[in-house]
Chains A and B, each alone.
Chain A
Amino acid sequence: AQSVTQPDIHITVSEGASLELRCNYSYGATPYLFWYVQSPGQGLQLLLKYFSGDTLVQGIKGFEAEFKRSQSSFNLRKPSVHWSDAAEYFCAVGAEWGRRALTFGSGTRLQVQP
């Protein structure tokens, strides 16, 4: 069975600073990997996903993530954070595309200081 670990429960960064959110996964084969963002009281919005190919994935809102098989990681990065990026971020891993539910990490709450 797959699992996801997001080691950081809460991160605070200053507006304009760079950001890296960590995600480690456990899965026997090459997984499908996702990053979602959730604002309070809202559903989940897909930031980016990785299936195969180029290990550096570009997403929406200026986010990118890099798949590192050797480290079982899929960390999310943004070079310059905006106040509107404050939200909850979830990393997820999937298998059997479309047939089985994603397994989510516990989430990282991002706070942005002015």
Chain B
Amino acid sequence: GAVVSQHPSWVICKSGTSVKIECRSLDFQATTMFWYRQFPKQSLMLMATSNEGSKATYEQGVEKDKFLINHASLTLSTLTVTSAHPEDSSFYICSASERQGDYGYTFGSGTRLTVV
């Protein structure tokens, strides 16, 4: 079945530094990648949608300069949280889909980011 590998599972960083989160589709081509943020005991909030080789489309209220998304290949997308601050601490989850075929909306295992 479809597998999306997300790394790291958790990361602690100092305020002002940047953190990169990777999502890889292991056995299918992820033409589209979705990045979500989840606050404790809440549902998923879509941050951005990225298509391979194109610029990401960000949801309203999401700072594109803070949350940099790269989707340069069909198997890898990255989310970089730049100049992180404590309010960026959250659970980030990616979801990969292929436009043709059955492998759609497969989620990574999530990354717990803590900014201190």
> Chain A residues in contact with chain B, CB under 8 A?
34, 36, 41-46, 90, 92, 94, 97-102, 104-107, 109
Known contacts A94-B105, A97-B104: A43-B6 contact under CB 8 Å: yes
Question: Which residues of B have CB within 8 Å of A105?
Answer: 43
Say yes or no for B32: interface residue by CB 8 A criterion.
Answer: yes
The residue from A98, A101, A106 contacting B43, defined by CB atoms under 8 A apart: A106
Mostly helix, strand, loop or mixed at chain A's interface? loop
Q: How far is the CB of A11 from chain B (nearest CB, A)?
A: 15
A56 to B108, CA, bound (A): 27
The residue from B32, B43, B112 contacting A41, defined by CB atoms under 8 A apart: B112
A90 lies within 8 A of B97 (CB):
no
> Chain B residues in contact with chain A, CB under 8 A?
6, 31-32, 34, 41-44, 46, 49, 91, 93, 95, 97-100, 104-110, 112
**New A-B contacts (12) at CB < 8 Å, excluding given A42-B109, A104-B44:** A42-B110, A43-B6, A44-B44, A44-B107, A92-B105, A97-B99, A97-B104, A98-B98, A99-B97, A100-B49, A101-B46, A105-B43
A36 to B36, CA, bound (A): 15
> What 4 pairs across the A-B complex have the smallest Cβ distances?
A98-B97, A43-B109, A98-B99, A44-B107
A43 to B4, CA, bound (A): 10
Question: Which residues of A have CB within 8 Å of B95?
Answer: 44, 101-102
B93 lies within 8 A of A102 (CB):
no
Question: Which residues of A have CB within 8 Å of B49?
Answer: 100-101
Q: Look across to chain A and name the residue whose beta carbon is closest to the beta carbon of B30.
A: A98
The residue from B6, B99, B110 contacting A99, defined by CB atoms under 8 A apart: B99
Known contacts A34-B105, A41-B112, A46-B105: A104-B43 contact under CB 8 Å: yes
Question: Which residues of A have CB within 8 Å of B104?
Answer: 94, 97-98
Q: How far is the CB of B55 from chain A (nearest CB, A)?
A: 15
